Amino acid sequence: MRGLMVFVGLTGGIASGKSTVARTWAGLGAVIIDADVLAREVVAPGTPGFDAVRQRFGEHVIGPDGSLDRPALGRIVFGDAAARRDLEQIIHPRVVDRTHELREAAAPGAVVVHDIPLLVELDRAGDYDLVVIVGASAETRLRRLVELRGMAPDAARERIAAQADDAARRAVADVWLDNEGTEADLIAAAERLWHERLRPLAS
């Protein structure tokens, strides 16, 4: 059957290289739906999501420019599970709705890639035709966070520990893209996967 839209879930731990794979596929013609971008979009000034955040958390989470002061909001929700749940209940349903809209707007025969950091944590693997995990060891990702992003080692370890582990990711992976090598190696692997598996699925 021709013209079949394929929905791919793309995920991986922090500093795994997921964004590199998404950029590579975008350059090859994929429709990218970036969950992080949508999470910001649905609480941009002037949106119902922004108004809901302001009502729940107050004026002190609004910055001088009129947008959300994300560090201030983060300080509130980081140590308060109830506040974090309230924020998630504002953001997540709106992100889900927007994701559905963008997916439905894709042309027949498109490869639609949902770039979603929390695919495993949110138990979303069943939503996709194919789940692709970009994998790198915790040690490799820690080194990248410290050396390339300038993150403090303890903060980097905390971020890694807060996410799903590799065993949980492997349990849902249809494809595991290893990224222990160079960026060029990862790009080449992503291109092969596109041409050998993703593009044919949509033809």
Nearest one of 107, 87, 108, 76 to 42, comparing CA atoms: 87
Q: State the Cα angle at 43 between 37 and 48, rounded to 5°.
A: 135
Dist CA 95 CA 43 (whole Å) = 10
Dist CA 152 CA 155 (whole Å) = 5
| Residue with the two structure tokens 């969950």 | 35
Strand runs (DSSP E) across 88-166, as ranges? 111-115, 130-135
Dist CA 91 CA 70 (whole Å) = 13
Rounded (10°) CA dihedral 90, 91, 96, 98: 110
Q: Both tokens of residue 192?
A: 């092969």
How much is the pTM?
0.89
Tell me what pLDDT residue 79 has. Answer: 77
Dist CA 156 CA 141 (whole Å) = 9
Nearest one of 69, 19, 16, 79 to 43, comparing CA atoms: 69
Tell me what pLDDT residue 1 has. Answer: 38
Q: Both tokens of residue 195?
A: 């041409």
129 neighbors 201 (Cβ within 8 angstroms)? yes
Q: Which domains does the chain have, with CATH numbers?
A: 1-30+110-203 (3.40.50.300), 38-108 (no CATH)
User: pLDDT under 50 in the chain at which residues?
Assistant: 1-2
Tell me what pLDDT residue 3 has. Answer: 63
